[in-house]
Amino acid sequence: MTNLLRSTAGIAVLFIALQPITAHAQLIWDGPEVTFTKADNADPSAAANQDSITDGVLLTRGNAGVLYNAASENSASNSSPIGTQWAQGTTEDLANLSFTTLKAASGNQMKNVPGKNFVLFLVEDSIYIDLTFNSWTQGQNGGGFSYTRTTESQVETSTEGVGSSIPGGFTLEQNYPNPFNPLTSIRFSVSQASEIALKVYNILGAEVSVLVNETMAVGVYEVAFEASSLPSGSYFYRLEAVQADGAVAQQTRQMTLLK
């Protein structure tokens, strides 16, 4: 495969495969925490009583059962909330978690969830969210609940002294194609000169490949990952940028190797 290095308006752009790449949501949300509370007796059909996480996931609670997704269902069932999976724990131990329904993850005892940590997985967008239940109460017209969760990751940006074509932050895009066999491309943006490390890990958290480990200038880069020696399965790839002032930006995504 031929590597082409192009420069546009002073921006170095390394292309290893000129293929269309679509942006997807970040894998792990580690932005500022927010607390959502639905009071006892509050109408679950009202938008104010639904936690709007994404356009396709609006969490609320009816008269009985677990949470449900008001964007795709009208009440809770054993598989609710539709479009989500859950595991007790935190994203720091993501590789060791087993995801299932909220009902199963709670041990069929939602009344015992206050104080417990969960990871909420948004299936369609491949987003993992840390969530801690604060309360689970009873009431007519929809029981109450409260939880604190992480929000979309905040990435430091630096545009001082550069044009609008400079990338606005350290961003890691979804690999393309995905799933792949055995070659895929990963694109990322560097908003200021930094020590860049791009590494691949298996589902157990063991490092399997180092794609980049060097100082890089501002730009948009694309590297290839060749996985012919690896077994089929899910892998994580992480971008870490250490800036001159010591600040660290990180992003992680998931990809699937199918042979």
Tell me how far the alpha carbon of residue 81 is from its chain's centroid. 18
Could you read off the pLDDT of 107-146 as tens digits, one per residue? 999 999 999 999 999 988 888 999 999 999 876 667 899 9
Question: Cβ(32)–Cβ(154) under 8 Å?
Answer: yes
C-beta neighbour count of 3 within 10 angstroms? 11
CB 120 within 8 A of CB 84: yes
Q: Among candidates 237, 224, 228, 239, which has minimal Cα distance to 3?
A: 224
Assess if CATH 2.60.40.2550 describes domain 4-26+156-257: yes
Dist CA 85 CA 78 (whole Å)? 12
Find out whether 54 and 70 touch, Cβ atoms under 8 Å.
Answer: no
The whole-number pLDDT of residue 138 equals 79
Residue 197 parent element (H or E) = strand 194-202
**Structure confidence at residue 141 (pLDDT):** 60
Task: Give the model's confidence band at 15: pLDDT under 50 very low, under 70 low, under 90 confident, else very high.
Answer: very low
Backbone angles phi, psi at 226, to 5 degrees: -110, 120
Q: Is the pLDDT of residue 157 over 90?
A: no
Q: What is the pLDDT of residues 193-236, one digit of tens each?
A: 889 999 999 988 889 999 999 998 888 888 889 999 999 989 99
**Whole-model pTM over 0.75:** no
Query: What are the Cα distances from residue 243, in Å, to 88, 137, 152, 216?
Result: 34, 46, 22, 10
